C-alpha cells in the first residue's frame, strides 16, 4: 500500500516560489545566449538600433561568411586548439601526480608541501615579476609563455587530492604493494583508471581556462600569427569601437559612409566569432557532464 504525504499550504507556496525563481534564473542565463545567436544572423542596423532584442531581424549569414573567409580567424582557431591541448595535457601531468602524492598518508612532509602550496593562493609576485621571470627564461613570444606559468592550479590540486583521499582505499594501495607494484605503476595502472570523474573535471576546468584565455597572449606575444582566437576576437572588438568613434566624429560624405560600413562588418563578425569560439566548449560539455557533477561533488564535499 502506497501512502502519500499531503503537502501543506506553506509547502505548496515554497514549491511555487522555487519554480518562479528557477524560471527567472533560466531567463537571465538563456537570454544573452539567444540574443548573441540572433544578433549573429541579424542585420547590424537592427542590432545597433535596438530593434532586434530577441529573435533575428533582417536575416543574414554574411557574418559567418566573413568569419570563414578570414584567414586570421582560422589561424587563431588553430592556435587556440593547439594551446588548449598542450596546456591541458601539461596541467593534468602536473596536477594529478601532485594531488595523488599529497593524498598519501605515508608521504613524508605532505603537510609542509601543502602549506607551501596554500601560501601561493594568497600571495603572488604580481604581473611585473612574472613578466620578468618569463622574459629571463626566454619564453617571450613562445607557446611556453602561455602554458608554463599556469601549469598548475592550487585549488584544482586540493580538489583532486580530496577526491583521491575519499575514493581510493588505502587497502587497495597496500594490496598492490604486496603484489610488488611500484608507486608509479600503482598510479598509472590502478589509480588513474579509477579516477575518470576527477580527470574529466580537471580537463574541463583547465581546457575552458585555456580556451578563453587572452590576457597572457596580450602580454607575452608580439607576433600576430601566434595569437589565439580570443586575441583575434579582441582585435575585432577594438576595431569596431575605433570605427564607431571615428564614424561619430565630424567627418562627412563617402568617408563617413565607408567607416559606418566598416563598423557594421565588424559588428557582424563579432557576434559570429563569439558563436564559433564558444561552440566547441558547448559541444564537449554534455559528454563530460556526468563526470563533472560526480567529480566536483566528491572532490569538494567529502573528506
User: What does the pLDDT profile of the chain (303 residues) look like in tens digits?
Assistant: 555 667 777 878 888 899 999 999 999 988 888 888 888 888 877 887 778 888 888 888 888 888 888 788 888 889 999 999 999 999 999 999 999 999 888 888 888 998 888 888 888 778 888 899 999 999 999 989 999 988 988 989 998 898 888 888 888 888 888 888 888 888 888 888 888 888 888 888 898 889 988 889 989 998 888 899 888 877 776 765 555 555 444 444 555 555 556 666 677 777 888 888 888 878 877 776 676 666 555 544 444
What pLDDT score was predicted for residue 251? Answer: 45
CB 124 within 8 A of CB 185: no
Q: Domains for the chain: give ranges and CATH numbers.
A: 7-60 (no CATH), 61-301 (1.10.3720.10)
What pLDDT score was predicted for residue 40? Answer: 84
Closest CA to 82 of 209, 200, 210: 210
Task: Dump the DSSP string for 159-180.
Answer: HHHHHHHHHS-HHHHHHHHHTT
Residue 260 phi/psi, 5-degree rounding, is: -65, -40
CB 58 within 8 A of CB 40: no
What pLDDT score was predicted for residue 244? Answer: 52
What pLDDT score was predicted for residue 94? Answer: 94
What pLDDT score was predicted for residue 250? Answer: 43
Amino acid at each position: 500500500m502506497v501512502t502519500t504525504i499531503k503537502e501543506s499550504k506553506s509547502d505548496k507556496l515554497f514549491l511555487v516560489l522555487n519554480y518562479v525563481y528557477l524560471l527567472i534564473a533560466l531567463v537571465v542565463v538563456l537570454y544573452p545566449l539567444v540574443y548573441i545567436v540572433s544578433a549573429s544572423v541579424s542585420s547590424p542596423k537592427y542590432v545597433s538600433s535596438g530593434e532586434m532584442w530577441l529573435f533575428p531581424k533582417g536575416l543574414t549569414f554574411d557574418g559567418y561568411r566573413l568569419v570563414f573567409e578570414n584567414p586570421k580567424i582560422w589561424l587563431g582557431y588553430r592556435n587556440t586548439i593547439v594551446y588548449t591541448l598542450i596546456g591541458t595535457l601539461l596541467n593534468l601531468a602536473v596536477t594529478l601526480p601532485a594531488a595523488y602524492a599529497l593524498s598519501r598518508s605515508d608521504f613524508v612532509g605532505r603537510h609542509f608541501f601543502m602549506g607551501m602550496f596554500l601560501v601561493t593562493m594568497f600571495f603572488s609576485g604580481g604581473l611585473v615579476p612574472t613578466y620578468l621571470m618569463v622574459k629571463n627564461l626566454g619564453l617571450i613570444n613562445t607557446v611556453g609563455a602561455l602554458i608554463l606559468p599556469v601549469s598548475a592550479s592550487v585549488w584544482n590540486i586540493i580538489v583532486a587530492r580530496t577526491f583521491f583521499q575519499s575514493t581510493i582505499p588505502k587497502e587497495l594501495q597496500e594490496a598492490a604493494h604486496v603484489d610488488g607494484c611500484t608507486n608509479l605503476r600503482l598510479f598509472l595502472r590502478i589509480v588513474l583508471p579509477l579516477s575518470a570523474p576527477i580527470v574529466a573535471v580537471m580537463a574541463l576546468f583547465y581546457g575552458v581556462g585555456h580556451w578563453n584565455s587572452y590576457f597572457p597572449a596580450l602580454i607575452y606575444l608580439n607576433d600576430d600569427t601566434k595569437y589565439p582566437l580570443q586575441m583575434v576576437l579582441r582585435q575585432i572588438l577594438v576595431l569596431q569601437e575605433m570605427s564607431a568613434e571615428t564614424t561619430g566624429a565630424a567627418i562627412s560624405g563617402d568617408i563617413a559612409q565607408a567607416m559606418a560600413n566598416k563598423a557594421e562588418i565588424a559588428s557582424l563578425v563579432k557576434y559570429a566569432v563569439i558563436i564559433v569560439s564558444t561552440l566547441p566548449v558547448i559541444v564537449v560539455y554534455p559528454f563530460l557532464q556526468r563526470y563533472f557533477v560526480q567529480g566536483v561533488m566528491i572532490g569538494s564535499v567529502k573528506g
